[in-house]
Amino acid sequence: MDERTHALDPALVRDIVAAALAEDRAAFDVTTQATVPPDQQGQATFLYKADGVVCGLDLAREVFAQCSPDLVLTVRHPDGTWVESGAVAAEVEGPLAAMLSGERVALNLVQRLSGIATMARRYVDEAAKGGPARIVDTRKTTPGLRALERYAVRTGGARNHRNTLEDGVLIKDNHLAAAAARGIGLAEVVRLAREHAAHTLRIEVEVTEAEQAREAIEASADVILLDNMPPEQMRDIVAAAPPHVLFEASGGITLDTLAEVAATGVHLISAGALTHSAPALDISIEVDAAATSAGPSGSTGQQE
Amino acid sequence: MDERTHALDPALVRDIVAAALAEDRAAFDVTTQATVPPDQQGQATFLYKADGVVCGLDLAREVFAQCSPDLVLTVRHPDGTWVESGAVAAEVEGPLAAMLSGERVALNLVQRLSGIATMARRYVDEAAKGGPARIVDTRKTTPGLRALERYAVRTGGARNHRNTLEDGVLIKDNHLAAAAARGIGLAEVVRLAREHAAHTLRIEVEVTEAEQAREAIEASADVILLDNMPPEQMRDIVAAAPPHVLFEASGGITLDTLAEVAATGVHLISAGALTHSAPALDISIEVDAAATSAGPSGSTGQQE
Amino acid sequence: MDERTHALDPALVRDIVAAALAEDRAAFDVTTQATVPPDQQGQATFLYKADGVVCGLDLAREVFAQCSPDLVLTVRHPDGTWVESGAVAAEVEGPLAAMLSGERVALNLVQRLSGIATMARRYVDEAAKGGPARIVDTRKTTPGLRALERYAVRTGGARNHRNTLEDGVLIKDNHLAAAAARGIGLAEVVRLAREHAAHTLRIEVEVTEAEQAREAIEASADVILLDNMPPEQMRDIVAAAPPHVLFEASGGITLDTLAEVAATGVHLISAGALTHSAPALDISIEVDAAATSAGPSGSTGQQE
Amino acid sequence: MDERTHALDPALVRDIVAAALAEDRAAFDVTTQATVPPDQQGQATFLYKADGVVCGLDLAREVFAQCSPDLVLTVRHPDGTWVESGAVAAEVEGPLAAMLSGERVALNLVQRLSGIATMARRYVDEAAKGGPARIVDTRKTTPGLRALERYAVRTGGARNHRNTLEDGVLIKDNHLAAAAARGIGLAEVVRLAREHAAHTLRIEVEVTEAEQAREAIEASADVILLDNMPPEQMRDIVAAAPPHVLFEASGGITLDTLAEVAATGVHLISAGALTHSAPALDISIEVDAAATSAGPSGSTGQQE
Amino acid sequence: MDERTHALDPALVRDIVAAALAEDRAAFDVTTQATVPPDQQGQATFLYKADGVVCGLDLAREVFAQCSPDLVLTVRHPDGTWVESGAVAAEVEGPLAAMLSGERVALNLVQRLSGIATMARRYVDEAAKGGPARIVDTRKTTPGLRALERYAVRTGGARNHRNTLEDGVLIKDNHLAAAAARGIGLAEVVRLAREHAAHTLRIEVEVTEAEQAREAIEASADVILLDNMPPEQMRDIVAAAPPHVLFEASGGITLDTLAEVAATGVHLISAGALTHSAPALDISIEVDAAATSAGPSGSTGQQE
Amino acid sequence: MDERTHALDPALVRDIVAAALAEDRAAFDVTTQATVPPDQQGQATFLYKADGVVCGLDLAREVFAQCSPDLVLTVRHPDGTWVESGAVAAEVEGPLAAMLSGERVALNLVQRLSGIATMARRYVDEAAKGGPARIVDTRKTTPGLRALERYAVRTGGARNHRNTLEDGVLIKDNHLAAAAARGIGLAEVVRLAREHAAHTLRIEVEVTEAEQAREAIEASADVILLDNMPPEQMRDIVAAAPPHVLFEASGGITLDTLAEVAATGVHLISAGALTHSAPALDISIEVDAAATSAGPSGSTGQQE
C-alpha cells in the first residue's frame, strides 16, 4: 500500500460498524449474556488461515470499541501486508463477553475486505507481466459498502475508477442508443457531455468496435473504453490513436488473459470481479479466556 | 417459494434502496443529465444470462420508483421462479434518464440475491438426494444486507437459522472455553443459559466430539450442532440420541458431500457459503430508447 | 440484581437521552440561561422520598453528561439496591446551569424505571410465598422505552419474556381463530409454526380451556400459556402434564392472588402491570448552589 | 374536544409509529408469518372495556397503514368522545397477518392516550365544581411521547402548560437558590429573566410563601406559581393581588381536593399526574378472521 | 457579548458541521489525498481582512476536529471581540491534509456568522444614538442555520425575537384577515389567542394603523408590532399608550433611519436584514506547511 | 434555463423542507392554531416585488404539501422565467391554517434562490458582452443548501464548477506550498495528482503568475486557474498557450469588470459572489381567506 494512502474516513467506519452491530443485535446477545459474566477478561487473535493481503483491521478495532471501550486491538501486520497462512494479523484484549458479541461482525467485515485486497494484489501482479496498465475497480460493489471495498482495492495495490455517477463522465452504449433514438450521433453526444458536465471532468466513451473508437477520438473524447474486444483488436486501436488518448479495457477479462490484455498497451483494465466475486478470505478469531476479572483498576469504561 | 412466504418489509426495502442510490449519487448522474433529456421515454428488460432463481424484483421496482415515480416495473417471472438463460424476468417502462441512473444499483441488488437464491436451490436439491434435512443459512452475511440475503435463501427454498444474537441461544466453543477458564463445565453452561435466557428460546450447543454431544444431551440441550465431523461419526451420534433431540451439521460441507451428510439423519445442515460465497448471477438490463417524449398525459409525477 | 446482569447498551442509552433532551429543548432553556451564569457551580442529590428499588442511574449520568461534559454523577446506591425513604442514591456535581436544564429529563427517566423495578421486586417477593414460579414481563411496554423497562424488570429481580415478535413463537387466540377460519385446527397450527420458525425457538400456545391445553401438549407445544384460568384449574392441568412441558399463567393476576397462582406449579407468571401500570417512584433532585465559579482549572470541557 | 383543535402532526405520528413497530420488530413476526398466509383477510374492532374518552385513533390508523397499505381503519367514535364500556371506537379491515403484527403496538398507544384523556376529563369536571380554573399538564411526561400525551390532555378537555424549556419562563426554587448563592434576590432574578428572555414570553415565578408571592408581584412577574400551599393561603394571596396577575396552583393536588383548590380563585391548576400516573384504559382488539383471501382485485399495495 | 451568554449547543454544532463536511465530501478530497501525505504537519491562521466582530470559532474548531482529532484550534480573539483588518482571530495546528480538506467549510461558516455579528453590532450602535430600544432579529433566517444565526445576532450585541412558531404568539395581518373573513374582529382574535395559547406566552399583534393599535391595546394585547409606519406616527402611538404595553417597530428600517426610529420610544426594533442580508465578512485561512511529519509521538488519534 | 435541465432531486427537496419546517416548529404554530380553525380555506399568491428570475417553486410546493396534503400550488411562471415586479409566479390554494404555518419557510427558500438565479442571469448577460466565457459558481455556498444554490445558478443560466472535493482536482496555492515545504515542485505535484486521482478527472492548477502558468502547462495540467490577475496578463497567458488548455479566471471580478475579463479569451469565470452575496429577491405571499370551509368533499388528506 502506497504510504500516501489515507485511512478510511472514521465517521464512515463508525456508521457502518454501528449499523452492522445493530443488525446483529449484538447488544442483545442472549447466549453470551447468560453464560459469560461482564467482568471476565480474555484475549483473541485474528488468525489468517490462507495466504493473502491483510485488510480491514480499523473496522475490527471499531467493532470491538463499540462493543466495549475497554477492548483494545493491537495490529501486528498492518493493512496492505501480504501474510501467509498461519499469520496473526492482530490481537484483541479486554472484556470477554463484549469480544464474543462482536466477533462475527468483525469477521464478516475483515474476511470480505481481505478477500478483495488479495484478489486485487493477484490481478496487479498478473497484469504487470504484460505491461504497465493500471488495474481499476468498477461500480459493481456491494450496496452500502462501496467505500470499504474501494479501500480494499487500493490496499491490494490496484486503483479506483470513478466512485459515483457524479465524479466521472462515462458515456455507455445505452446513452448512445438513447441519443440515436433521437437522431443524434456519437460526436454530438460527446459534445453535449462536454457542454453540460463540469469542466473538471474528462469525457470517457464506451465503444465495441474500432470504427466507434475512431469516431470518439475524432470527437475529442479523453478516454475510450474498449468493451469486450479481442486483444489484437485492442492493440491495433491503441497503436493507431494519438498519444494523449487513454484506453480502458473491460469485459470478460480473467486472471488468465490479464497479461495478454495488459500487453496491448491499454492504460487501464477494469474488473468488476474485484468487488463482485472476490471470495472471502479464510480467517478466524481464536479466543483465549482468562479465569479472573480485570481487577479494580483494569476497567474504567462506561460499561461498569 | 412457499406460498406462505411473506414479502420483504417495504420500509426496509425503501431504506436500503435509498442508501444505495445515495451512495452512487444517482441524483447527480452527470453523464445522463448531460446527454439524455428528462422527458425521453424508454423501456428495459431484466435479461437472465444464466440459469437460476429469480430474486429481488421488489428491490429493483423500488430502485426505479425512487429514481422516478413514473417508472413502472412489470414482473414476468416472480421471485422464486427457476428460469433458464435468455429469460426476461421483468420489464421497466418510463423516463429513460431516470432508468439509466438507477440501472447499476438495481443490478447490484438483483444479481446478488438471485445468486444466493440459485445456490440455495442447488443445495436443497442436492441434500434431498440424501435425506430430509433442512438447509439453513448462518449469520455470515453481508453487513447491512442480512434481511435481503435471508429472503434470498428462503426464495431459493432453504430455511433461515436464527437472524440475530437475540433470537437463538447457540453456545459455541468460545462460550464453553470462557466457562472452563472459570472452572465451569458444559452442563453448568447449559443450565446458566436455560436460567437466564427467555423461556421462548431453545438451547443449542456446538460440539466437536461424540463425548461432548452426550454431555450436552444429558444436560438437556435441545439442539446439538455437530461441527466439522465426518459423516459416519454424525450418523452414530444421531442414532444414539433420544428422538426429541435435534442435530445440526456444520463446517466444511460442500455441494459434493451434501447428500452424504443429509443421509446421516441430521435434521439441519447449515452453510455459510449460501450468503458468503454465492457468485452473483449474470443478469443484464437491456434498454430500448423511444424517440419521443411521453406526451402531455404521460407523466404526472413530481419530477416534472 | 444478579451479578451476571449486563448493563444497558451504552449506544441505546445515548440515543434515548439525546431524544429526550431534544424533546424538552434543554439546550434552549430560556429561564436558566437568563438567570444562571454558565460558570456557576453546584451540587445535587437524588433523594428517594419513598421506599423502593434504585434503577436508572446510568440514564441520569448520561443526561447530565450530555448537558455538560463537566457534570459528574457519583453513585451511592447502585441500581438494584432496595432503599428506604430519605436515601440519597446518587450525587451530581458541576456547572449548575447545565444541571438545572437536565433535571426534569433525568427525573422522568429515573422515577419511571425505579417505579417498575420496585413493583417487580414486590411481585417477586409475593410470588415466592407460593412457589418457585418466575415473574416475567410482557410486550405491554411504553413505545420507545421497551429496553429500559425490561432492564428495570430485571433490576427488580423478575425476568423478561420475549423482547419482540421475532424472538419467541407465541400462538395466540387470534392465530388459532385465523386458522380455524381456514378450517385448520390447533395441532396443525403448532405444526406450521414448527415447520416455518427457526429451530432455535420454542413453540408456545395460549389456551383458555383444559381441553385446548391437552390438545397443545399432544401437538408437542413446548410451552402452554394458561390465560385467565382459576388457580384450581391451572393446578389440575399442570399436574396432568408431562414434566418437560412449561406452563405460563397470565391474565388478571394481582399482587393479592400471586402467591396462590405460584402455588399451582406453573413455571412462569407474566404480568403486563409491571411495565404498564407501575406508578413512578417519588424521587426529587435537591440542588445546592455554590457562590463561586469552578476557577481556572475546574472545567476543561467544550462548553467553555 | 374543542372543534378548533388541530390534529397531531402527521410527520410526528409517522415517526413515532415507525419507531414503535421497529422496536417490536413487527416486520419479523415469526408466529404470524408461520401460521397466517399473507392473503387471508380479516376484521377487527377496538372494544372499550371501560368508560372513558377515546384518544389516539390516528396513531392506530398509522400503525396498521405501516403494517400494510391495504389495512383500512374506520372511526366510529372520534377522539374526544366519551364512550361507555362495550363501545366500539373503530374498526380495521384488510390483511389479517399484517393486522396481527401491529395489534400490540396499536393498543400500547391507544390505551395510554385514552387513559390520559380520561383522567384529564375527570380533573376538568371535578375542578369545574369549584370554579373556572384551567387544568393544565406539566413536563412530567414519558420521554419520547410528550407531543402525544399533550394531545391526549387537550383531547380530554384540559390545557397544556409550556411544552419545552424554550416556550415559557418558569423561575423555580432552584433558580432562586442559585441566585441567592451569588447574593442576588428574587426581584433581580425576575429582572434578569425579563432582560434576557425574548419579549414574547411571560415571566412566571414559583413561590412557597405569601411573602415571596408579594415580592414577585412587586417585581412585575406575570404569573405566580403557588407551590404546595393550603387552599386558604392561596385564596388570601389571590385576593390580595392586582387583577392582572395570574396564579397557578401546583403540588399535591388530588381529585379529592381539586374543587376546593379551584374555589380559591387561582387561574390554573397543574397536575403532573395527568401524564405521569394515568392508568392505561382497558381496551382490546377483537379479531374476526375471514376464510378466504381478498381475491384478485382486493389488494393493490406494494406488499404484493 | 454579555458574559452570561451561553455557548452554542455542542450537539447542534456537531450535527451541522458533520452535514456540511458530508455535503462537501471532505473525506473524499481527491486533490489533497493525492498530493499531501497524511503525516505532513502544518499551521494555519484565521486572518480577518476587514473590520468586524469575531463569531463562529467553535464551529471552526469542530470542523477541524471532525477532519482529524489531531487538529487543534487556539483562539486569540474570542467570539464577540471587535477586531480590525489584519487581526488573527485563531490558529490551527496539526495534520496539514486534514486542515486543507476542512478549510472551505470552516470559512463558509465563520465568514457568514462574523458578517451577521458585525451587522448586528452596527445596528446596536446606531440605534443607541436615538434611544434604548432593543435590536431584535426575525425568523427570516437561512433554513438549517437558524440557531447559528441567532447566536451571531447575540454575539453582535443584539437580541433574539421568538425562535420558532411555538415560542411566541404573533398575530399578523393574515391571521386578522382570516378571522375577518369569518366575521371576527381583532379583539376576538386576541381573546382566542389568550384562550388557546399557553399562559406562559404574551400576545403580540401586528398593526398598520393607529386605530388598530388602539383596538389591540384595548383588547389587552401585551405587545404591539407597528409595521411600516412613519416615525412620527409611531411616537404618537407610543406616547398615547399605557406604560405596560410594549411596542416593536418593523418594516423598511435601515441603518440610516435606525436612530430616528429608536427615538420614537418603541421598545424593540426588528430587522430581517440582520440574518437575511448581512454580507459575509472577508476572512481567509493562511496556511504554513511544515517540511516534516509530527514524529512518533505527535499523533495519537484514530486516523493512524 | 436549458430545456435539458433536470429538476432538483425530490428526495433532497423533501429532506431540506422537512428540516426547515422542523426548525421553525411549524407543526406547533401556536398563533395560527389558536386563531384559525383547521377547515377554513384560503388562497395565496407569490408576488414578485422586484424584477428577477423565478427559482425555487418546487421547494415552495413541497413546503405546503408537507404542511397539508390538501394544499395545492399552481405554477404560473416556471423556474427560469424572467419576471418583472408585480408578477405572480405561483398560487397556493387549500387549508388556510396550514398555509400560514408554512409561509415563512417557503419564502425563506424562494427568496434566496430567486436572488441567486437573478444575479447569475446578470453575470451571464454582462459577460456575454465581452466574449463566450462560461460563468461558473464555486464551493462558497451556504452549508446545507449547496445543491439548491447550484440549481439556482443553473436556473439563472450560469454553470456549475465541481460540486464537492471529490468531483474535481484543483491544486491550490496551499497544496503547492505543502509540496514546496517537502522540496517538491509544481510539476511533480501535477504528476502526483495524475497518478493518484481517478482517470476520469482533469487536473486543474491555480496560479498567480505567468511563469507558474507556463510551468503548469508544461506539466500537462488540463486547466489553469488564473487567480487575481489583471486582464492584460490573462490575455497574454491565454494567447501563448496551446489551444487544448482551458483557462479559468477567478478573484476580485465584479459585474463592472466582467466583460473585460471575458474578452481576454478565458474559458471560464468563477464567482463566489453568486452564492455568497446574492441578496434575497423581494417576494411576498399575499393571502386571501375564504369565509367557509372546504365542505365535505374538499379534503381527503390524512389530516382529517
- A86-109: per-residue pLDDT in tens? 999 999 999 999 999 999 999 999
Residues D129, D247: one domain? yes
Nearest to B43 by CA among B22, B64, B25: B64
The C-alpha atoms of residue A66 and residue A61 are separated, in whole angstroms, by 9
Residue A163 touches partner F, C-beta closer than 8 Å? yes
Q: What is the pTM of this model?
A: 0.91
Per-residue pLDDT, E292: 65
Choose the closest CB to B302 out of F3, F4, F10: F10
Q: Kindly report the backbone phi and psi dihedral angles of residue F101, in degrees, each rounded to the nearest multiple of 5, phi listed first.
A: -70, -25
Whether E255 maps to a domain, the answer reads: yes
Scan for cell 455470515, then name that residue: B140
Residues A119, A134: one domain? no
Sign of the dihedral through C-alpha A46, A52, A55, A56? negative
Question: What tens digit of pLDDT does each residue of B178-189 get?
Answer: 999 999 999 999
Whether A157 maps to a domain, the answer reads: yes
Per-residue pLDDT, E7: 79
Residue A162 touches partner F, C-beta closer than 8 Å? yes
Per-residue pLDDT, E300: 35
Question: Quick check: is E227 catalytic?
Answer: yes
* CATH number for the domain that contains residue B173: 3.20.20.70
Whether F252 maps to a domain, the answer reads: yes
Residues C173, C76: one domain? no
Asked if the interface predicted TM-score (ipTM) of this complex is over 0.85, the answer is: yes
Indicate the number of domains in chain E.
Answer: 2
Q: Which three cell numbers stand for residue B62?
A: 423500488
Query: A303 contacts in C (CB within 8 Å)?
Result: 7, 10
Whether F300 maps to a domain, the answer reads: no
Question: Quick check: is A206 catalytic?
Answer: yes
Phi-psi region of F20 (alpha: psi -120 to 50; beta: other; left: phi over 0): alpha
Mean pLDDT confidence for B25-35: 95
Active-site residue, from B24, B39, B91, B140: B140
F111 to A154, D280, E115, F126, F129: CA distances (angstroms): 46, 49, 19, 23, 28
Residues F287, F258: one domain? no
Mean pLDDT confidence for C204-226: 97
Question: Quick check: is D49 catalytic?
Answer: no
Residue B165 touches partner D, C-beta closer than 8 Å? no
Question: What tens digit of pLDDT does each residue of C124-169 get?
Answer: 999 999 999 999 999 999 999 999 999 999 999 999 999 999 999 9
Residues D116, D188: one domain? no
Per-residue pLDDT, C201: 97
Strands E203-207 and E169-171, bridge-based pairing: parallel
Q: How many residues comprise chain B? A: 304
Per-residue pLDDT, E296: 42
Whether C79 maps to a domain, the answer reads: yes
Residues B98, B131: one domain? no
Residue C240 touches partner D, C-beta closer than 8 Å? no
Query: What angle (nearest 5°) sits at the alpha carbon of residue F6, between those of residues F4 and F12?
Result: 170
Whether B232 maps to a domain, the answer reads: yes
The number of C-beta contacts closer than 8 angstroms across A and C is 22
Beta strands in chain E, from DSSP E residues, in sequence order:
40-48, 52-53, 72-75, 82-83, 88-95, 134-136, 169-171, 203-207, 223-227, 246-250, 268-270, 283-293
Question: What tens digit of pLDDT does each residue of D111-168 get?
Answer: 999 999 999 999 999 999 999 999 999 999 999 999 999 999 999 999 999 999 999 9
Nearest to A136 by CA among A110, A115, A109, A157: A157
Mean pLDDT confidence for B165-176: 95
Asked if pLDDT for residue E1 goes beyond 60, the answer is no
Question: Which site among B17, B29, B35, B206 would you substitute to test the A interface, given the most A Cβ atoms closer than 10 Å to its Cβ?
Answer: B35
pLDDT-derived band of residue C304, with 50, 70 and 90 as boundaries?
Answer: very low
Strands B52-53 and B88-95, bridge-based pairing: unpaired
The C-alpha atoms of residue E226 and residue E234 are separated, in whole angstroms, by 7
The C-alpha atoms of residue D169 and residue D162 are separated, in whole angstroms, by 9
Are residues D33 and B7, on separate chains, in Cβ contact within 8 Å?
A: no
Query: D182 contacts in C (CB within 8 Å)?
Result: 37, 40, 289, 291
Contact F118, F85 (CB under 8 A): no
Query: B268 contacts in C (CB within 8 Å)?
Result: 199
pLDDT-derived band of residue C295, with 50, 70 and 90 as boundaries?
Answer: very low
Residues C253, C156: one domain? yes
Residues D112, D144: one domain? no
The C-alpha atoms of residue E298 and residue F95 are separated, in whole angstroms, by 62
Q: Which residues of E52-85 are buried (b: 16+ CB within 10 A; e: fewer)?
A: bbbbbbbbbbbbbbbbbbbbebebebebbbebee
Whether F254 maps to a domain, the answer reads: yes
Per-residue pLDDT, E232: 96
Question: Which site among C165, C171, C222, C270 would you substitute to test the D interface, given the most D Cβ atoms closer than 10 Å to its Cβ?
Answer: C165
Residues A139, A239: one domain? yes
Chains that touch C (3 or more CB pairs under 8 A): A, B, D, E
Question: What tens digit of pLDDT does each residue of F170-210 get?
Answer: 999 999 999 999 999 999 999 999 999 999 999 999 999 99
List CB contacts of B276: < 8 A, sequence separation 6 or more. Answer: A280, B138, B140, B141
Task: List the domain range (segments joined by +) for residue F241.
Answer: 125-276
Q: Provide the chain C residues 64-103 that lie in CB contact (below 8 A) with chain D.
A: 96, 100-101, 103
* CATH number for the domain that contains residue B29: 3.90.1170.20
Whether C300 maps to a domain, the answer reads: no
Residues C168, C263: one domain? yes
Asked if pLDDT for residue C303 goes beyond 80, the answer is no
Residues B81, B212: one domain? no
Nearest 10 degrees: CA dihedral of D120, D124, D126, D130? 150
Residue A200 touches partner F, C-beta closer than 8 Å? yes
Residues B56, B91: one domain? yes
Question: What tens digit of pLDDT does each residue of A196-217 get?
Answer: 999 999 999 999 999 999 999 9
Scan for cell 491544486, then name that residue: F171
